[in-house]
Amino acid sequence: MGLNTQHIQSMSDRKLALTVIIPAYNEHGRIGNILSVLLQAQFVDEVIVVDDGSTDGMDTEVLQIAQGNPHLKLIRQNVNRGKGQAILSGLRATTSPVLLLLDADLIDLTVEHVESLAQPVLSGEADMTIGLFQHGHFWTDLSHRLTPWLSGQRCIRHRLLRDLPHQAAQGYGFETCLTILARQNKWRVKHIPWIGVSHPLGHLPRNGLSGYKRKTNMYRDILWTWLVIEFGGSWPGRRQYKIHRDR
Cα(99)–Cα(168) distance, rounded to whole angstroms?
Answer: 20
Spatial CB neighbours of 199, under 8 Å, sequence gap ≥ 6? 103, 105, 106, 107, 133, 137, 140
Closest CA to 117 of 131, 106, 103: 131
CA distances from 37 to 47, 201, 205 (A): 11, 21, 25
**61-114 residue pLDDT tens:** 999 999 989 999 999 999 998 888 999 999 999 999 999 999 999 999 999 999
Tell me which residue of 102, 131, 133 sits closest to 30, measured CA to CA.
Answer: 102
Specify the pLDDT at position 154. 97
Q: How far is CA 181 from each of CA 22, 119, 124, 242, rounded to the nearest angstrom? A: 21, 22, 19, 13
pLDDT digits (tens, 9 = 90+) for 195-214: 999 988 644 445 555 555 55
Lowest mean pLDDT among 31-40, 167-176, 192-201: 167-176
Mean pLDDT lowest for which of 45-54, 69-78, 90-99, 138-147?
A: 138-147
Give the contacts of 126 (CB within 8 A, at least 6 positions apart): 120, 188, 189, 190
**Listed residue (175, 173, 131) closest to 149, CA to CA:** 175
- Report the candidate in 196, 199, 194 with the shortest Cα–Cα distance to residue 215: 199
pTM of the shown model: 0.77
Mean per-residue pLDDT, 124-152: 83
- Under CATH, domain 5-200 is a member of which superfamily? Spore Coat Polysaccharide Biosynthesis Protein SpsA; Chain A (3.90.550.10)
